[in-house]
Amino acid sequence: MNELKSKTNIIISVIIPSFNGKHHLKDCLPSVISACRQSPVATEIIVVDDKSSDDTVLFLKENFEKEIKVFENPQKGACSARNHGVAQSKGNILLFVDNDVFLYDDFFKNALPYLSSDMFCAACAGYKAFPKVEGAKEQLDGIKTLQWKRGFLRFTGNIYNKDLKSYNDYLSYGVQGAYFFCSREKFDKLGGFDTLFDPYLLEETDLIYRGLKRGWPITYIKDVCPRHKCGGTIKSKTNKYAKYLSKRNRELFIWKNVTDKKLLFSHILWIFKSISAIPYVLKNYVEIRNKKREQMQFIKKTDIQILKECKDYIQRIKKEL
């Protein structure tokens, strides 16, 4: 009870960007609303429509006007949509959720012990909404790991719950952008999502990595398990534009965030893998350079240090098993 009382100052703002996602919201939004109703602390739900052509705004106002707040993105893209949602919110803890994600009723109850005003981010243990075997649990996202390979930072590695002990005191070196918590204070200090990554892809990785370089840890919440439709919004495996954005933003991420000379030299040797992204980087080079310089004054950990920490952490978990 005392622990719960200490959390009464927490207000959680759920930020959902949506582009032509009326069908996803119809399926998933009721579960988010239900989870908020069961939350031990105050919550609000903010949906930001990203210039959809499927009457999303009308649909939301007709069906969920009392439960949510709806805004329209004055710009275009998931980064600016999320930033706009945060600007309209009142919470000191932010929960970013995609429009194709289901939440369980105990979502906030299980997350609350790990949430505080002085935290940075908390990563969730995501599962497939529709696993191959009906009724099975098929985990998508666990503890995120980092690795430098072939000139690029790889941030898609996972350590899943089946490979962890029963306790939940774990760190992560990344988050899944479809569902993660973030301190409003830390979010504002980082300047929010960088709209250079608009319309989407890797924007959460950029945000998280900038926090890691400032020495801010990420908590992994093993027993908070949202369910994801798996690429239901952007269909990244079949969408040619998404494939281009993946290369473009991966290249942008390197030039904007990596400062270790050895890693940059290694990247140059493999730059042909994202050569189509170079025009975008060159076009925005001055802005990228200025943002990199601005972040340099806050850096407490180098890229090499973070990579080594992550590698050592993986080894520690393996030894515990």
Per-residue pLDDT, averaged over 143-164, amounts to 95
Least trusted range by pLDDT, from 158-172, 249-263, 286-300: 158-172
Q: Which of 204, 321, 202 is nearest to 251 (CA)?
A: 202
State the pLDDT at residue 42: 97
What percent of the chain is modeled with pLDDT above 70?
95
State the pLDDT at residue 1: 42
Residues in the chain: 321
Q: For the chain, give the mean pLDDT.
A: 93
Residue 27, pLDDT > 90, answer yes
Reply yes or no: is the peptide bond before residue 40 cis, omega within 30 of 0.
no
- Tens digits of residue pLDDT in 51-83: 999 999 999 999 999 999 999 999 999 999 999
Structural contact between residues 185 and 142, judged by C-beta atoms closer than 8 angstroms: no
pLDDT band (50, 70, 90) for residue 6: low
Structural contact between residues 175 and 210, judged by C-beta atoms closer than 8 angstroms: no
pLDDT band (50, 70, 90) for residue 167: confident
pLDDT band (50, 70, 90) for residue 28: very high
Residue 2, pLDDT > 50, answer no
Residue 266, pLDDT > 90, answer yes
Per-residue pLDDT, averaged over 26-34, amounts to 98
- Tens digits of residue pLDDT in 115-150: 997 899 999 999 999 988 887 889 999 999 999 999
Q: Which of 168, 180, 126 is nearest to 12 (CA)?
A: 180
Domain layout of the chain by residue ranges: 2-240
Q: How many angstroms separate the CA atoms of 69 and 139, rounded?
A: 31
Residue 34, pLDDT > 60, answer yes
State the pLDDT at residue 181: 98
Which two tokens mark 225? 């398990």
Per-residue pLDDT, averaged over 219-245, amounts to 82
State the pLDDT at residue 217: 97
State the pLDDT at residue 4: 47
Q: Topology of domain 2-240, per CATH? A: Spore Coat Polysaccharide Biosynthesis Protein SpsA; Chain A (3.90.550)
- Tens digits of residue pLDDT in 280-298: 999 999 999 999 999 999 9
Contacts 24+ apart (CB under 8 A), 2-6: 3/113, 4/40, 4/112
